[in-house]
Structure 1
Amino acid sequence: MYRVSVRMPTSQRIKDEENEAAAREWVISQTVTKANGTILAPKNVQNNLIPTYSTPSYLSPGFSKANLPSQQWLLDRQDLIRERQQDLQILTEEEYQKIFIFFSNLIQILGEQLKLRQQVIATATVFFKRFYARNSLKCIDPLLLAPTCVFLASKVEEFGVISNSRLITTCQTVVKNKFNYAYTQEFPYRTNHILECEFYLLENLDCCLIVYQPYRPLMQLIHDIGGQEDQLLALTWRVINDSLRTDVSLLYPPYQIAIGTVVPLASVTLRSMREI
């Protein structure tokens, strides 16, 4: 981190009750944010005392807020349709969506069998959808990519690395017992396939691995609403889990998904409570 010297405002210019807050703010302001080359200046420091910084040379000329990971994977519906044209020449839109519902269910069951948290399962599902938002289904077998997404998500969400043998064994069991109507043969992939596929997944995700989920804003919204929080949380939680099978995670930010889930269900729940 780079550090610069900023002249501390004199105590005469700071009200007594703001001394402590101003001092903390001044200390924070010493650190230059390397991401965009700017400095956080305290409110009581005049602007002409703060040096300005241009965009660092190691950032590309096209760097902007739109390039941040949180914005990079918010896609337009037309972009999705354009990227899917190769698959939609063979499949109908309904068939295409059914395939993603199928593999989202596979990821969900696989995560449950591995005793993963829902946050990990949701991140794995988002990884899966982001990969195929830019690639055809013919690029990598979804049956291989699904456990690879689970494997990567468990590390990203700091759940702990799943042992390779346990992952393969669980995949074999799930495919044999839960999806034998679709796969007549056993799970064909081994550890080396998962590890190799992980590199392709990382490359296509541009190493943007932090996924913001709607669960945290959902819980905050429900807490603010009050009332029957447990009942409303259970309903909205299930709806958000189901939304992972659709394209909303690619089209809208997490807080909008949370609001879109809470508002109608809260109205129905509160109306039911009044009727009771």
Structure 2
Amino acid sequence: MYHNSSQKKFWTFENEECLEKLRFQSNQKFRAKVRGSGKELKGLDESSFLNPFEEDVLFRHYERRLLEFCANFKPVMPKSVVGTAAMYFRRFYLHNSVMEYHPRIIMLTCAYLACKVDEFNVSSSQFVGNLPETAAGQEKALEQILEYELLLIQQLNFHLVVHNPYRPLEGFLIDLKTRYTTLENPEMLRKTADDFLNRATMTDAGLLCSPSQIALTAVLNSASRAGITMESYLAECLGLKDDKETLCKMIDLMRRIKNLLKKYELPNSDEVNMYKQKLERIHAEFVNTIPTGNTGPSFMEIMPSPQSLAAETFKAMHHHCRS
């Protein structure tokens, strides 16, 4: 259950400012690593780095690529797997910079791990077979995914179970059918509510609110767009008629969730291309030239041995239903 989960305890934050602070710190941490590497790098100055805004543009670009990859995946990828992959991606870059770990491979690793954790049984060859690459290119991609998989699990703090809003949405639709007879056909709300959840995936809603709060907002937003008022559902069926304080808090939270979706902007293609060039230069000039002291795919702090990390990983995944 969400209320006893690692998601609520470790990955649900108080406000957007907390998230912005973490991302800023990740940006600064990478800069400090480069400066403290002890190696003279050509053309190193502040303009060489991506600033937080530029990182965000690239993050949104690769997040959309991740979702497109999942949408076109064969066999059809369940919504829960897509939601889990997107949340892994968002959590990873709370504490890491795109300058240190390239999102092109991290996004695929997130999708690959989500398939495993949510028990969507596809083989590794099936997975990379969805990439528009040659056989050699697919083999190389799989090598990179497997190389980054343990790193991803570690950076997620072994909290691998993600509670998505799709199941609560089904619960609300069933509840509307059985207890809210005022609404003749609750199924008419499904498509717009599904679209709302898909859009919410590309925001920080899942890092700020519970899955049921997001799902309820999707239902009420869908009803509102259809010209249906459902205030009585909140008051009567959800037992908030005599709890004005909780009702007001819930309405305020739903307003915040809708604002997150309203604020979302598609990444500008010209900006994406410009920042991509900058990112490739960073990886070529900074990341790949700094001695690491380990064999990881990027320079990082000392990690546990592969054997101990693999043992921890197995233990975490074996008990993931408790998270």
TM range (shorter): 0.5 to 0.7
| Separation in 2, partners of 1:238, 1:253 | 18
1:138 equivalent in alignment to 2:77: no
Identity %: 27
In structure 2, the partner of 1:45 is: none
Structure 1 unmatched ranges of 5 or more: 1-64, 177-185
Higher helix share: 2
Which of 66, 81, 85 is 2:20 aligned to? 81
1:100 equivalent in alignment to 2:59: yes
TM-score (norm 2): 0.54
In structure 2, the partner of 1:225 is: 176
- Kept in 1, the 8 Å contact 2:7–2:163? The answer is no
**Residue 23 of structure 2 aligns to which amino acid in structure 1?**
R
TM-score (norm 1): 0.63
| Separation in 1, partners of 2:27, 2:104 | 17
| Separation in 1, partners of 2:20, 2:170 | 33
**Residue 172 of structure 1 aligns to which amino acid in structure 2?**
P
Q: How does 1:67-78 map to 2 (within 5 A)?
A: 68-76=6-14, 77-78=16-17
- Kept in 2, the 8 Å contact 1:100–1:245? The answer is no
4+ runs deviating over 6 angstroms: none
For 2:226, what is the secondary structure of its paired residue?
helix
**Residue 148 of structure 1 aligns to which amino acid in structure 2?**
T
- Kept in 2, the 8 Å contact 1:104–1:245? The answer is yes
Which of 168, 178, 200 is 2:128 aligned to? 168
Shift in Å at residue 109 of structure 1?
2.2
Shift in Å at residue 239 of structure 1?
0.8
Larger CA deviation: 69-78 vs 198-207: 69-78
1:211 equivalent in alignment to 2:211: no
Q: How does 1:149-168 map to 2 (within 5 A)?
A: 149-160=110-121, 162-168=122-128
Give a deviation string over 1:157-196, Cα, whole Å, max 9, x none. 1111x333333332235xx9xxxxxxxxx78943221111
| Separation in 2, partners of 1:98, 1:232 | 32
Larger radius of gyration: 1
CA RMSD of aligned residues (A): 2.7
| Separation in 2, partners of 1:101, 1:225 | 35
Shift in Å at residue 154 of structure 1?
0.5
For 1:264, what is the secondary structure of its paired residue?
helix
Q: How does 1:30-49 map to 2 (within 5 A)?
A: none
Shift in Å at residue 92 of structure 1?
5.5
In structure 1, the partner of 2:207 is: 250
| Structure with higher RCO (Cα < 8 A, 6+ apart) | 2
Shift in Å at residue 225 of structure 1?
2.7
For 1:133, what is the secondary structure of its paired residue?
coil
For 1:231, what is the secondary structure of its paired residue?
helix
Shift in Å at residue 97 of structure 1?
4.1
In structure 1, the partner of 2:69 is: 110
- Kept in 2, the 8 Å contact 1:83–1:135? The answer is no
